[in-house]
């Protein structure tokens, strides 16, 4: 679905994967990122955690928009402005995994995916900038790997991309994609922005009175 000229879409994310997915969906958008300390927000259930983090990101970006004058520009315009924020964690053996912070942690995470499957839990939040109305949801997928060789693990750590994704889980990387045995769910969900859920929340937001 292509974006209407009366729709201003803002992606509140610095994730290259999310930018790619939203572009694939046919939308034009601008980018804003939230500078929040994700470790400050704790929830026991992964579904609650990712939704809470998406709300925190939206709060931070709306404040940034208010301070920059962008909020006033949108309120004074005729267009509908929607802000999309999202978050993701990986659950492995019942433990929530966020972005690895050290090479040792990344090594432990990636090696573990050879032993048992990983589940990705991702949230999407669409905020109507003018009305403040928010629509949220979350999606789950599972990834099963063949054995990941040690040399692949070390190459991934040396490259560094694993430190920017939840659980150090890279399925679209040239080194890891041949090692994916199966995905239960969708690749876009695993990559951080489930298309079907995002589309539904955008459509629902556009239909509000």
How many CB atoms are closer than 10 A to CB 59? 14
How many CB atoms are closer than 10 A to CB 25? 17
Which residues are known to be catalytic?
Answer: 87
Which three-class secondary structure state does DSSP give residue 127? strand
Which three-class secondary structure state does DSSP give residue 55? helix
Give the chain's radius of gyration (CA, Å): 18
Q: What is the DSSP string of 156-191?
A: HHHH-GGGGSGGG--SSSTTTGGGEEEEES-HHHHT
H-type alpha helices, 84-135: 103-115
User: Is 139 within 8 Å of 122 (Cβ atoms)?
Assistant: yes
Give the orientation angle of helix 195-206 with respect to helix 16-24, to 10 degrees. 70
């Amino acid at each position: 679905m292509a974006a209407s000229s009366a729709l201003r879409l803002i992606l509140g994310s610095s994730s290259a994967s999310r930018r790619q997915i939203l572009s694939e969906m046919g939308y034009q958008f601008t980018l804003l990122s939230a500078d929040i300390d994700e470790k400050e927000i704790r929830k026991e259930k992964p579904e609650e955690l990712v939704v809470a983090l998406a709300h925190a990101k939206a709060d931070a970006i709306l404040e940034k928009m208010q301070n920059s004058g962008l909020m006033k520009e949108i309120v004074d315009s005729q267009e509908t402005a929607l802000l999309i924020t999202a978050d993701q964690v990986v659950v492995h053996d019942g433990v929530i995994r966020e972005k690895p912070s050290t090479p040792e942690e990344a090594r432990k995470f990636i090696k573990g995916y050879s032993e048992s499957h990983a589940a990705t839990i991702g949230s999407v939040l669409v905020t109507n900038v003018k009305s403040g109305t928010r629509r949220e949801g979350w999606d789950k997928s599972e990834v099963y790997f063949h054995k990941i060789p040690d040399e692949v693990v070390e190459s991934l750590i040396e490259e560094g991309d694993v430190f920017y994704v939840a659980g150090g889980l890279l399925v679209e990387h040239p080194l890891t994609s041949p090692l994916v045995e199966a995905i239960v769910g969708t690749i876009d969900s695993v990559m951080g922005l489930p298309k079907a859920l995002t589309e539904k929340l955008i459509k629902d937001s556009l239909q509000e009175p």
